[in-house]
Amino acid sequence: MPLLKSSYRSPLGLSHGHLQTILPAILRRVPPVTSRRERIETPDGDFLDLDWTTGTGSRVAVLSHGLEGKSQDAYIQGMARALSRRGWEIVAWNCRGCSGEMNRQLRFYHSGSSDDLRIVVQHVLAQERFREVALIGFSLGGNMTLKFLGEEGAAIDPRIVGGVTFSVPCDLAASSRRLESTENRIYMRRFLKSLRRKVLKKAERFPGAMNLSGLKEIRTFKQFDDQFTAPLHGFTSAEDYWARAGSQSFLPSIRVRALLVNAQDDPFLAGGCFPVAEAGASPHLHLEMPSGGGHVGFWSFGQEYWSETRAAEFLGG
């Protein structure tokens, strides 16, 4: 599809990508919309926690959070509120180890964990009352969503009517390198602090299963992914993980309407995270690149953010 002209304009005084990224994350509060938790078992003996709205409708949206996020984050609950007002039921799922309880297996989750998203989608589809299923993902969850849609290709269940993603690091290598820059040090420190805690908790449960040497000295995703993400999840190196888990190579195989919104001032994104050629060659992928918005930002005054209105609009209200 040709590139879409975006209607989003940053509010006066919030035109900087870092402000758009940080302020919504620390200031926005959304009362929980998903109130019913369900735990489902995975084939490998682990579990996934899903948070549902209560409803009886025939349309459901599956929401996937970002790195070290969770289903109760404001951007997830904001989207849940906006769509539930329009008649959608919501299921916001938590990646392994992100629901408040450490998962059982040695593996965690990663940007390419579309196998877990597939488990969630299959569980939703098994509830036959749903005639329309939409997938919505943010950042890491957006990468997972696009990868899943590409993997399914023409064989995708016809009840899956579309996908909407925001702030997606389609090119994981370029995004990882971008986050190593001095200006992004604040984000890298935050992510690695959280990831280190999880590694240590996992090490208590699985003594000797991981190499913990130099854990405190890790300063980049490459170092972390080489030492933990890759060996724990079947990759040979960080580069192998980035190449195989990034959604960029799966975009041409998508066969349902999919929207990718990546702001040009997103401090996390670079290179192939703006897949202009892939979108131009695809009748299914719609690419929107507003000049502002930051990373999972798109600040708007009022209860509903622009990203939430845009997702509902793309999915047909």
Out of 84, 266, 282, 300, which one is annotated catalytic?
266
Residue 189: burial class (beta carbons within 10 Å; 0-12, 13-18, 19+): exposed
295 is known as an active-site residue: yes
Q: Distances in Å between the alpha carbon of 16 and those of 153, 190, 264?
A: 37, 20, 11
Residue 27: burial class (beta carbons within 10 Å; 0-12, 13-18, 19+): exposed
269 vs 271: CA distance, rounded Å: 7
60 vs 53: CA distance, rounded Å: 10
Q: Which residue has the tokens 């019913």?
A: 36
CA-angle at 36, arms to 101 and 158, nearest 5°: 100
In terms of Cα–Cα distance, which of 179, 176, 132, 164 is closest to 21?
Answer: 179
Please answer whether residues 163 and 136 qualify as being in contact, where contact means their C-beta atoms are separated by less than 8 angstroms. yes
Chain centroid, CA 314 distance in Å? 18
240 is known as an active-site residue: no
266 is known as an active-site residue: yes
**3-state DSSP call for residue 172?**
helix
DSSP annotation of 159 reads T
Out of 65, 233, 284, 295, which one is annotated catalytic?
295
Residue type, 10: S
73 vs 236: CA distance, rounded Å: 32
Total length of the chain? 317
Out of 10, 99, 139, 175, which one is annotated catalytic?
139
- Annotated catalytic residues are 139, 266, 295
